[in-house]
């Protein structure tokens, strides 16, 4: 089941939009970006999203089984909200400890969105993410 308020938004307002957020619009629940790399891998929204904190895998050689974890990051426990281009995709976590939180997942790393994570002044979750965008604020505006 999709977390609130996203579930109500999709059911009562729209399932996708050509206007933002993000840069290239909000994707429908079943849609993936055109440049999605994991087409040959099956996505499983019921399996928990594996991360609980930011991880920049491009600079991290210390993680054992990094490829397996990366497959889970891209394919488990999240719906793709949309893309800002260049493989920078916004995900809403739908299962696991970060259920309801929004994450930016790119080809170099993953970062949670919300003030408690230290990168932005925005409230966490889908509603905070949308309000932040509607306020025309930079995504990561924390000093």
Instruction: Confirm if 108 and 56 have CB atoms less than 8 A apart.
Output: yes
Higher pLDDT, 61 or 105: 105
Summarize the confidence of residues 65-80 as an average pLDDT.
91
pLDDT number for residue 124: 92
Instruction: Confirm if 90 and 82 have CB atoms less than 8 A apart.
Output: yes
Q: Among all chains, which residue has been given the structure tokens 């306020």? A: 135
Q: What H or E segment, with its residue span, contains residue 77?
A: none
Q: What is the pLDDT of residues 99-122, one digit of tens each?
A: 999 999 999 999 999 999 988 999
CA 118 to chain CA centroid, nearest Å: 16
Q: What is the pLDDT of residues 118-132, one digit of tens each?
A: 889 999 999 999 999
Q: What is the pLDDT of residues 15-53, one digit of tens each?
A: 889 887 888 889 999 888 887 765 566 889 999 999 999
Q: Where are the alpha helices (DSSP H) in 4-65?
A: 6-8
């Amino acid at each position: 089941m999709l977390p609130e308020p996203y579930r109500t938004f999709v059911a009562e307002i729209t399932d996708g939009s050509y206007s933002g957020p993000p840069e290239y619009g909000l994707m429908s629940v079943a849609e993936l970006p055109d440049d999605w790399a994991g087409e040959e891998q099956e996505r499983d929204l019921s399996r928990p999203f594996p991360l609980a904190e930011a991880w920049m895998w491009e600079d991290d050689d210390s993680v054992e089984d990094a490829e397996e974890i990366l497959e889970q990051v891209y394919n488990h426990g999240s719906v793709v909200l949309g893309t800002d281009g260049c493989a920078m995709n916004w995900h809403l976590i739908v299962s696991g400890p970060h259920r309801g939180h929004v994450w930016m997942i790119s080809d170099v790393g993953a970062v949670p969105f919300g003030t408690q994570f230290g990168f932005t002044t925005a409230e966490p979750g889908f509603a905070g993410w949308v309000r932040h965008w509607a306020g025309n604020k930079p995504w990561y505006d924390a000093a």
